[in-house]
Structure 1
């Protein structure tokens, strides 16, 4: 799904007990139940550089023999390709590049890894292959104006499927090449600018690619596409707007594991019989249940349940449909390898994190033993004591229930003196998950109360809630953010005159909208690659994002009043909060023209504004020195304007 944000990270579930059975069962949290935990040692400010020494893993995959893991790591300060042994030892960096690498996939013989790489954050990916032993990578696609991404090998290793998107077009098509010497060939030729294709799995005989054709954010079908002819068969034909998504094919090729929201707009998991096209439901929930993968024998499959931003992995018996977490530790657990997290011996690789522990890979043996594979935390983080996030629910201005994560410093008194920072998420079709958040850790360790609301328009609470800000961006959803501040005021911890806001992408848009529409409320703000004017966005953004924007705001001609009312440009001259603007120079999602406009306008108005444009960065900053600068400047900005401190971080 296209969003004005970096794709959401991983999810962690503290405990399923005590949580609502669905969004409709949530009750408002008593503000006085929000606590400041006591700590004899307290909490010293977490150093930015030390926190960022904690290694980030962006993707992993099993080698065919299950003895190695290929993965993307920023251990060197860049997101590059690495390999390690299955037990986490022997980590080796295969490639060194300033550019972003992602989506590793082993060849059938295990001798090479195929991956994607862009240029300076431009998101125009080429596919490359490199020997597991090292050496120079080979550019397989070598195109300047086409982005090839998501490599997926057939079971026999003879075919490679991937997505192909022309720079000037909005649709991503399905492409294949014979391995190892074939050339790229399109299987689909999409004509609808709102539609795109995504390969999800191969039939066991390599004859078909199973793919999802999605139209906008509300409608999708699963197709079986013949590789030789390109003939596409719709397996989930339906009426109305329903998301039909697939994730995996059973080893015998007879069953598809899929997700559908046809039950009232809530994502649930089903098994699709390929021959009859009939579905058998596995879940019936109003939280988000997303299909996972099959075990090598096909007797077990998985799905991930996201309940209010916290998630767990469920292992399901294929015959009885009984589910179990198999003793996986509670937390934000997600599959740790693609296209399947299972190994041939039945063991399962997963990623685990929570609000106080960084993501690491773990291995669940077939016998139920859990072993930690990676140890990504820096020594400083390992020894640090951090306050956990707290999940709260509050009523917004119109009674709509809003969930949020709150972080409260240790040993804080209810004397109304603590500064607050609101962290709106990207999207808007996104969700703040209960994950390890460097931003929140940096702030809470310095005495800030932090709140990250999942306002209307967020995913995770059903399609009706997701569409609740349609043609009203920065309207009622901004009021949901403000209601979160009102909730914090009622806790007795915070000072209403020391409220800041910090967001990126759509969160940056929300930041600009907030300080423009409610200028008296905010004392400081940080906008990272946020949208100022939806019309200049249309002129400069990627073609696929143009269609996404129209799906949120309507026709730019017919709905001109909506575009203008939803643009911070209309209100920004009213802002009073000191504003820091951070932007990547090669961002195709929110181009730098948005940041430049903000800065130019506020400087002319004589306001307090500063800006940094990071070279060779796209949407979000991946180079460690830029991340250090980003976080150091942002925390320093709040320390100066919310706390009156000017000391270096």
Structure 2
């Protein structure tokens, strides 16, 4: 294990910065980044045992707790900030064993991430560990190039575990001595496998590129007996869901791919819900019928986060997500007869994190209903009724889960000054369960509470933001705009529920502690403000209309009496890196400096790499020209302000060549820039120390360029 030359140089500079600035700040980056981040909350099927992942300064481990006290205890004991992620936490039905995936998916070269540059490539693997403690047992290797391979599924009797990897479904006996073996070996890529309630069959998607079948495999003693297809067609079937009695399977059906469609107009993606009768076991082809289909407009398209909102509820009801009225809402429909869908969550707000109660009669979800820039937990009957707020106030909650005995509700939550932690919900109140895990020197009492602000873009669109104002900010000082990635994200009035933005929120607090006013902007293309805000005209490579909101944010800051309009900077990552680069290249008159984390700089290359068939579109030449004109690279001639560029060279989201190419253009144009490159690091940095180093470098660069200690 060793640091690269790039990493050693970057850190040596940062140590100098830390030494001279420590006395001028109230807390350090390490302190505000020290809280363990919890994720992957899981429950058992019958009891009150819960499990989750805790990432503490890069050390990722499984923690468990038993109700009703829910005293946290560490189950695994991995050590070191080594970049080995833990995902897909699952509890066996009896609550006796925890299963999980450890490691990362493969990149395009077939290699797992190795940010510490180990001599042997780390592998992504499936593991099982007894709930009472003991050494984890290896179930098998998982490595594949898709997040689906992290989806471990446990059979209802708790005997078998399966997952998809390397174009196959793999199966392992949890208590057995043998490692996983391939259950299937067929043409195409299996996805989303789900056990039947009886544990004798598996429903899964078999993708074959331009079409996809729904397959049902009969399994006995860990071996495949036979496989049948459900109403095979030229369309794409996905997301199978078993009925509680195992007699039916619901699934989504999308049209098959069509060649040579124009790509500049945004094309609707209509979809339908089908249900199959699985009792007809005498045939290898099962019949199915459509019970609901969407309209044909953009609002009717399949919601981007719909998979987690698709459930087969009790009473033969299908619960699903749709944006047909302009907002992402839950609906339910009779699974056997179809008919008119019932709107479960009416209003101008949206839903996330949908889970069913143990009895499958109630949907539990997070929402921004009545509190547009936060999240709270709600419930609604699957058959219809008035939604009930289970939490409210100046807090944030997400990932609701009912314990297997149906007696308690747990979730993760945060506030403006306290990071993500585990809570129990009872009587409309939050009961903190993991407060003992918060480091004693975490600076909650030194953090600021951001203000909710709104302002208008030049075309009249209302934009929301969070304004972090430093303490004792007399006179006019510098400001920094933060732009998130995605772009389908929303920043909140507190610590975020996604780890990337939980970190970014901590950095914004740190910048405020140094004397910067920070404005976090929820620009168009983001979520939770309605479909038309998220699917805005001329966005992205089609014209970068969302950049108007970044300019509007800078002009809003200029109206504040505490801001020096000549000292406004900007920072962001991924899509936020793109917007940072657009700001510096198009408006160096507004933005004096910026920090660009792994941003997109040439859309004309990106959309071709994302869709290799794009050059067959009839408007390809016009699209490529439009994509180029929407890119930061197209405005290099007007880029004057200095920039710090940061990226890992094993980035699996934004190709590293986007940064490589930009640097050559900046050099040719004599634009001042600095760079930090992390060899073998990915997009969402795996190493805690790389986040800390990057955030220190960001603060140092912006301080050098904007001088927060100087107020006019």
| Length-normalised TM-score, structure 1 | 0.80
Shift of 1:57: 1.2
Structure 2 counterpart of 1:511, from 556, 568, 580: 580
Q: SS at 1:476's partner residue?
A: coil
User: Are 1:399 and 2:399 an aligned pair?
Assistant: no
Structure 2 gaps of 5+ residues are: 1-23, 113-122, 169-186, 213-234, 256-266, 496-504
User: Are 1:53 and 2:112 an aligned pair?
Assistant: no
Shift of 1:48: 0.5
Structure 1 counterpart of 2:530, from 440, 462, 470: 462
Equivalent residue, structure 1, for 2:646: 582
Shift of 1:309: 2.7
Equivalent residue, structure 2, for 1:5: none
User: Are 1:425 and 2:484 an aligned pair?
Assistant: yes
Equivalent residue, structure 2, for 1:135: 135
Distance 1:112 1:333, change over 3 A: same
Equivalent residue, structure 2, for 1:435: 494
Structure 2 counterpart of 1:362, from 423, 427, 431: 423
Shift of 1:388: 0.9
1:596-633 deviations in Å (ceiling 9; x for gaps): 12223223433321222223322211311111111111
The answer on whether the counterparts of 2:477 and 2:708 sit within 8 Å (CA) in structure 1 is no
**In 2: Cα distance, 1:329 partner to 1:183 partner:** 45
User: Are 1:292 and 2:310 an aligned pair?
Assistant: no
Structure 2 counterpart of 1:74, from 44, 55, 60: 55
**In 2: Cα distance, 1:634 partner to 1:197 partner:** 45
1:460-506 deviations in Å (ceiling 9; x for gaps): 22222222243554633112111111112212110111111101011
The answer on whether the counterparts of 2:193 and 2:203 sit within 8 Å (CA) in structure 1 is yes
The answer on whether the counterparts of 1:68 and 1:85 sit within 8 Å (CA) in structure 2 is yes
**In 2: Cα distance, 1:556 partner to 1:166 partner:** 32
The answer on whether the counterparts of 2:311 and 2:320 sit within 8 Å (CA) in structure 1 is no
**In 2: Cα distance, 1:220 partner to 1:160 partner:** 31
Equivalent residue, structure 1, for 2:366: 304
Structure 1 counterpart of 2:656, from 585, 592, 607: 592
Equivalent residue, structure 1, for 2:191: 173
User: Are 1:203 and 2:243 an aligned pair?
Assistant: yes
RMSD over equivalenced CA pairs, Å: 3.9
Distance 1:139 1:211, change over 3 A: farther
Distance 1:230 1:451, change over 3 A: farther
Equivalent residue, structure 2, for 1:409: 470
The answer on whether the counterparts of 1:62 and 1:69 sit within 8 Å (CA) in structure 2 is yes
Name which of structure 1's ranges 399-408 and 507-516 shifts more when overlaid on structure 2: 399-408
Distance 1:525 1:192, change over 3 A: same
Greater relative contact order: 1 or 2 (C-alpha under 8 angstroms, separation 6 or more)?
A: 1
Structure 2 counterpart of 1:255, from 317, 337, 341: 317
Structure 2 counterpart of 1:612, from 666, 673, 676: 676
**In 2: Cα distance, 1:111 partner to 1:562 partner:** 57
Q: SS at 2:419's partner residue?
A: strand
1:359-415 deviations in Å (ceiling 9; x for gaps): 1111124x66642111243322255232211111111112221111111112323x3
Q: SS at 2:644's partner residue?
A: strand
**In 1: Cα distance, 2:268 partner to 2:509 partner:** 32
Within 5 A, what are the aligned runs for 1:334-349?
334-337=398-401, 341-349=402-410
**In 1: Cα distance, 2:553 partner to 2:207 partner:** 46
Equivalent residue, structure 1, for 2:693: 629
The answer on whether the counterparts of 1:163 and 1:197 sit within 8 Å (CA) in structure 2 is no
Equivalent residue, structure 2, for 1:38: none
Distance 1:555 1:511, change over 3 A: farther
Equivalent residue, structure 2, for 1:24: none
Aligned length: 590
Distance 1:105 1:353, change over 3 A: same
**In 2: Cα distance, 1:336 partner to 1:218 partner:** 30
User: Are 1:83 and 2:68 an aligned pair?
Assistant: no
**Which protein has the larger Cα radius of gyration, Structure 1 or Structure 2?**
2
Equivalent residue, structure 1, for 2:559: 490
Distance 1:557 1:164, change over 3 A: farther
